[in-house]
Amino acid sequence: MLATADSADQAETLARARAFADPLISGECLDTGENILAHADAVAAILAEIGGSAQMQAASYLVYACPHLNKPEEVIAKAFGSNLAQLAIQTNHLVHVQRLSRAAETSAQLTEDPKLQTENVRKMLLAFSRDLRVVMLRLASRLQTLRHYAATKLPVPPALARESLQVFAPLANRLGIWQIKWEMEDLSFRFLEPVTYKEVASLLDQKRGERERYMVDLRERMAKALAAQGVKAQVDGRPKHIYSIVRKMRGKSLAFDQVFDIRAMRVVVPAVADCYQVLSWVHEHFVPIAQEFDDYIAKPKPNGYQSLHTVVRDVDGRPIEIQIRTQAMHDHAEHGVAAHWAYKEAGAKGYAGVSASSEYDNKIAVLRQLLAWERDLSGAGQGEGLFDDRIYVLTPDAAVVELPQGATPVDFAYTVHTNLGHRCRGAKVDGAMVPLNTALANGQTVEVTAIKEGGPSRDWLNPELGYLVSNRARAKVRAWFNAQISEETIARGRESVEKLLQRLGRTSTKLDDLASQLGFKSAEGLFEVVGKDEYSLRNIEVLLNPPEPALLPDEYLAKKFKGAVARKSPSGVLVVGVDSLLTQLSRCCKPAPPDAISGFVTRGKGVSIHRQDCSNFRELASRHGERVIDVRWGEHKGPDGAVYPIDVSVEAFDRQGLLRDISEVFAKEKMNVIGVQTQSVKGTAWMTFTVEISDAAGLNKVLGTVRNVKGVRSARRR
């Protein structure tokens, strides 16, 4: 009762889909000249013949309705459900891609370049993997297009015929849909090589009457003999497919009369045991050709095809090819995946909302046939795939994931989801545990073992260890570590700022407001520069506790220093002002000749000398511009000239001997190191060297030498 209700619902869906599409497409034609509604009717009929569901048949109409709708996915989903909407949209997109590909091939006038279709086939593969019903729709649609050209005798675009023969027919073969494969091959060959096709067809027709009488007699004889042995067998002649005859003639350099399957029989029996009983009878009553026997029951073809194939000679020496199979094998041989791929429609669990009656294993088997089809297109004899730079692997849920050649389980994890990549700790390939740097291959099923929380390993960034091939995955790992470093720097800066506020008794200060007053967009921006020691806490202290008025009035200072003569101070800096004016080199930027410098009159501490690019100086100058005075370096000659301390910041991969190697660089350059601060976090070392120099002009050369030390990422003056 339930099955009857389901059938009625499916028939109603099919009728509604046709009625929905009719006013949109009935007056339209495809670029082949065929009426779209007539084409959709024929496609639905082909799908019905090979076992396609009513919903799949309904999609044949909705596919062509999509271009006529403003929001096709939304409209179709509302009327027929999201499942059918996705199928229609996906198939329509693929039709468009293939049309563009053929147009490009025609305009390029390239007829034998298989790489021209690479991107097209790649998109086909990914579309098929998202919803396997797309395969059936595209095969049925292409077969109907070929039938249309055959019926109308219109000229066939070579690109379309070639694509049918080189792409679609091998796809049908891989999925075992022989009924479509043979017809598509014969029609494509007829359009591409009409002269050869007619020659072989003529040879087949010359002795048709005699051959058919012989086959009738043979069928009756075999059927009676097998029935006498208790074997219920259906014995029939096998259709003669012109393309397969020509391919066999060319492949084995045979004359037409030497092609065995010109006389061919097919025996269909109930059980496997009956197959071997029939084989025994055949070999007993005819002379078998040993090298032409194949047992595809014991060892099925990769696409699941099963049958016994034998070639024998009758009393007159005429070859006869006989295929022996069960009814189930015959159904699979004719319809392949369509014979057993029953879809549970709305509400079914599975990839893209579709699941198979034989569950996961069956779906994986079909997806692997799609991957094998991709390899077939390049010519298996050369041992190269069409996409030498790409591989396709499967998730445990049977989704296809595209990866670069040589990709590892870690690459796979990052492609599926960034967070899964970060937490990846183990992997299974086809059910077996493998190291994380194992190179994956086409068609493998990959399952990742992940921890609940965690991050990547620094080893993954080491190219010699081979954990990552994908540039995208590498970038995600680097971004994670950069984020960690940034978080630690911000935390360090936050701690310093909060300690200062405690000391000043200003713990109620809003940090975001404080950062804004200091010219930062956020508190994190302030914390980061403080954590990097690039911003002095003195600026915060000055902002919160402004200095008292200067000992000398502003008007007096301005008048005193205006037009005065430059005088040399003990620090080696020429200043403008009175004799013996106290000067000091600022510790925040540590100027040294020949840096561009300026002076700032401080409260009770004389003139502070800053580099002009010092952020602290720019902040002071913007607030108290009247305290800025001109200064310049004096001359220092002889070995006893003044030296100046400067800070050099180094970031490097931490390793044993790193500090010693960098210190040796300064020693060779005769620079005295008077202070070192180091910090190491998760394999990265941050070092600050305070060195004495007499002149900063040669510092760039020294920094370049430091950068060449093994493991050093950057070296710069602070």
Q: Among candidates 587, 615, 620, which has minimal Cα distance to 603?
A: 620
Average pLDDT value for residue range 324-341: 71
Contact between residue 657 and residue 712 where contact means Cβ atoms under 8 Å apart:
no
Q: Is residue 28 located within the same domain as residue 141?
A: yes
Instruction: Kindly tell me if the per-residue pLDDT of 406 is higher than 70.
Output: yes
Contact between residue 332 and residue 339 where contact means Cβ atoms under 8 Å apart:
yes
Residue 6 has what pLDDT?
56
219: amino acid identity, one letter = R
List C-alpha distances in Å: 335 to 140, 328, 623.
Answer: 12, 11, 85
**DSSP characters for 565-615?**
PEEE-TTSEEEESSTT--EEE-TTT---TTS-EEEEE-SSS-EEEEETT-H
Residue 272 has what pLDDT?
92
Band of residue 5 on the pLDDT scale cut at 50, 70, 90: low
Cα gap 660→665, rounded to integer Å: 9
Identify the weakest region by mean pLDDT among 116-120, 149-153, 239-243.
116-120
Contact between residue 678 and residue 659 where contact means Cβ atoms under 8 Å apart:
yes
CATH of the domain at 279: 3.30.460.10
Per residue, what are the HEC states of 133-175? HHHHHHHHHHHHHHHHHHHHCCCCCHHHHHHHHHHHHHHHHHC
Task: Quickly tell me which residue has 């180094």 as its tokens.
Answer: 650
Q: Is residue 119 located within the same domain as residue 8?
A: yes
Q: Is residue 47 located within the same domain as residue 24?
A: yes
| Number of folded domains that form the chain | 6
Instruction: Kindly tell me if the per-residue pLDDT of 114 is higher than 70.
Output: no
Q: Is residue 160 located within the same domain as residue 213?
A: no
Q: Domain for residue 353, yes or no?
A: no
CATH of the domain at 458: 3.10.20.30
628 secondary structure, DSSP code: E
Model pLDDT for residues 585-595, shown as the tens digit of each residue: 888 888 888 88
Q: Is residue 560 located within the same domain as residue 515?
A: no
The order of strands in the sheet holding 672-681 is: 672-681, 684-693, 644-653, 712-717
Band of residue 339 on the pLDDT scale cut at 50, 70, 90: very low
How many Cβ atoms sit within 10 Å of the Cβ of residue 267? 26
The residues, any chain, with a CB within 8 Å of residue 624's CB and separated by 6 or more, are 600
Residue 269 has what pLDDT?
92
Average pLDDT value for residue range 373-389: 51
**Looking at 451, 469, 487, which one is the last position of a domain?**
469
Contact between residue 330 and residue 365 where contact means Cβ atoms under 8 Å apart:
no
Residue 641 has what pLDDT?
65
Q: Write down the mean pLDDT value for the chain.
A: 78
Cα torsion 604, 609, 611, 616 to 10°: value is -10
Sign of the torsion angle spanned by Cα atoms 212, 218, 222, 223: positive
Q: Domain for residue 344, yes or no?
A: no
Q: Domain for residue 352, yes or no?
A: no
Question: Looking at the DSSP assignment, which residues form a beta bridge with residue 611?
Answer: 597
Residues in the chain: 718
Q: Is residue 318 located within the same domain as residue 431?
A: no
Instruction: Kindly tell me if the per-residue pLDDT of 143 is higher than 90.
Output: yes
Q: Is residue 376 located within the same domain as residue 462?
A: yes
Q: Domain for residue 348, yes or no?
A: no
Q: Domain for residue 101, yes or no?
A: yes
Q: Is residue 177 located within the same domain as residue 65?
A: yes
Q: Among candidates 346, 457, 368, which has minimal Cα distance to 128?
A: 368
How many Cβ atoms sit within 10 Å of the Cβ of residue 26? 12
Band of residue 277 on the pLDDT scale cut at 50, 70, 90: very high
Cα gap 628→617, rounded to integer Å: 9
Q: Domain for residue 349, yes or no?
A: no
Instruction: Kindly tell me if the per-residue pLDDT of 38 is higher than 70.
Output: yes
Q: Among candidates 519, 607, 532, which has minimal Cα distance to 567?
A: 607
Band of residue 123 on the pLDDT scale cut at 50, 70, 90: low
Residue 365 has what pLDDT?
59
Average pLDDT value for residue range 303-330: 86
Q: Domain for residue 638, yes or no?
A: no
Residue 230 has what pLDDT?
86
Cα gap 165→180, rounded to integer Å: 12
CATH of the domain at 656: 3.30.70.260
Identify the weakest region by mean pLDDT among 140-144, 247-251, 375-379.
375-379
Band of residue 41 on the pLDDT scale cut at 50, 70, 90: very high
Find the domain containing 708 and state its range: 644-717
What value does the CA radius of gyration of the chain take, rounded to a whole number of Å? 41
Average pLDDT value for residue range 53-59: 85
User: SS3 of 528, please?
Assistant: helix
**Looking at 436, 452, 469, which one is the last position of a domain?**
469
Q: Is residue 9 located within the same domain as residue 88?
A: yes
Band of residue 39 on the pLDDT scale cut at 50, 70, 90: very high
Average pLDDT value for residue range 629-640: 66
Band of residue 350 on the pLDDT scale cut at 50, 70, 90: very low
CATH of the domain at 75: 1.10.3210.10
Instruction: Kindly tell me if the per-residue pLDDT of 666 is higher than 60.
Output: yes
Task: Quickly tell me which residue has 């050099």 as its tokens.
Answer: 648
495: amino acid identity, one letter = E
Higher-pLDDT residue of 251 and 137 is 137
Contact between residue 146 and residue 188 where contact means Cβ atoms under 8 Å apart:
yes
Beta strands of 146-263 (E only): which ranges? 234-237
Cα gap 608→586, rounded to integer Å: 6
Residue 562 has what pLDDT?
46
Q: Is residue 369 located within the same domain as residue 326?
A: no
Identify the weakest region by mean pLDDT among 336-340, 505-509, 594-598, 699-703.
336-340
Q: Domain for residue 198, yes or no?
A: no
Q: Among candidates 232, 254, 229, 236, which has minimal Cα distance to 244?
A: 254
Cα torsion 377, 382, 384, 387 to 10°: value is -30
Region of 628 (left: φ > 0; alpha: ψ -120 to 50; beta: rest) is: beta
Residue 352 has what pLDDT?
31
Q: Is the pTM of this model over 0.75?
A: no
Provide the percentage of residues in the chain whose pLDDT is more than 70. 77
Identify the weakest region by mean pLDDT among 49-63, 335-349, 450-464, 574-588.
335-349
Q: Is residue 207 located within the same domain as residue 178?
A: no
Band of residue 635 on the pLDDT scale cut at 50, 70, 90: low
Higher-pLDDT residue of 555 and 131 is 131
H/E segment holding residue 373: helix 359-376
Provide the percentage of residues in the chain whose pLDDT is more than 90. 14
Beta strands of 486-596 (E only): which ranges? 566-568, 573-576, 583-585
**Looking at 408, 434, 469, which one is the last position of a domain?**
469
How many Cβ atoms sit within 10 Å of the Cβ of residue 561? 19
319 secondary structure, DSSP code: E
Cα gap 667→262, rounded to integer Å: 91
Cα gap 352→676, rounded to integer Å: 60
Residue 371 has what pLDDT?
60
Cα gap 93→64, rounded to integer Å: 11
Q: Is residue 512 located within the same domain as residue 573?
A: no
